[in-house]
Amino acid sequence: NAGVTQTPKFQVLKTGQSMTLQCAQDMNHEYMSWYRQDPGMGLRLIHYSVGAGITDQGEVPNGYNVSRSTTEDFPLRLLSAAPSQTSVYFCASSYSIVGSSYNEQFFGPGTRLTVL
């Protein structure tokens, strides 16, 4: 299994440009999520999905859109990039994360995004 894969690894955008960060997992996980990592702030949840066709907002959703048309893929879209979105983005997945039943979240290697 490849686990959780993310593309691209690095990206530089100009303010106002749009792009999609790709995330895929081959473990048949129901739950997928996107985090951003900023210095001294840990990881903050952007959006998550509990299954195909179902998405919801996390802690910092503004400026980002997601969709979940298949179990495997969970792309993150920046419609109009801003310098405040310069960050490292991580995708994660797990089998189930409802209530007290916890399964380990597996993280991708990350995408380092710079917005000029």
Partner 1 sequence: GDSVTQMEGPVTLSEEAFLTINCTYTATGYPSLFWYVQYPGEGLQLLLKATKADDKGSNKGFEATYRKETTSFHLEKGSVQVSDSAVYFCALMSNAGNMLTFGGGTRLMVKP
| Site residues, partner 1 (CB under 8 A) | 4, 31, 33, 35, 40-45, 48, 50, 58-59, 90, 92, 97-100, 102, 104-105, 107-110
Shortest Cβ 8–partner 1 spacing (Å): 15
The first and second tokens of residue 15, run together, are 């303010």
Beta carbon of residue 95, minimum distance to partner 1 (angstroms, whole number): 12
Whether 97 and 49 have beta carbons less than 8 Å apart is answered as no
- Please, which residue, 13 or 60, has the CB nearer to partner 1? 60
Q: Whose Cβ is closer to partner 1: residue 16's or residue 53's?
A: 53
Q: Which is nearer to partner 1, 50 or 52 (CB)?
A: 50
Least Cβ distance, residue 113 to partner 1 (angstroms): 15
Q: Which amino acid is at 25?
A: Q
Which residue lies nearer to partner 1 by CB, 14 or 40? 40
Angle of CA points 10, 82, 116, to nearest 5°: 55
CB of 15 to partner 1, least distance (A): 27
Q: Are 98 and 48 in contact (CB under 8 A)?
A: no
Tell me how far apart the alpha carbons of residues 31 and 101 are, in angstroms, rounded to a whole number. 12
The bridge status of strand 87-94 relative to strand 43-51 is unpaired
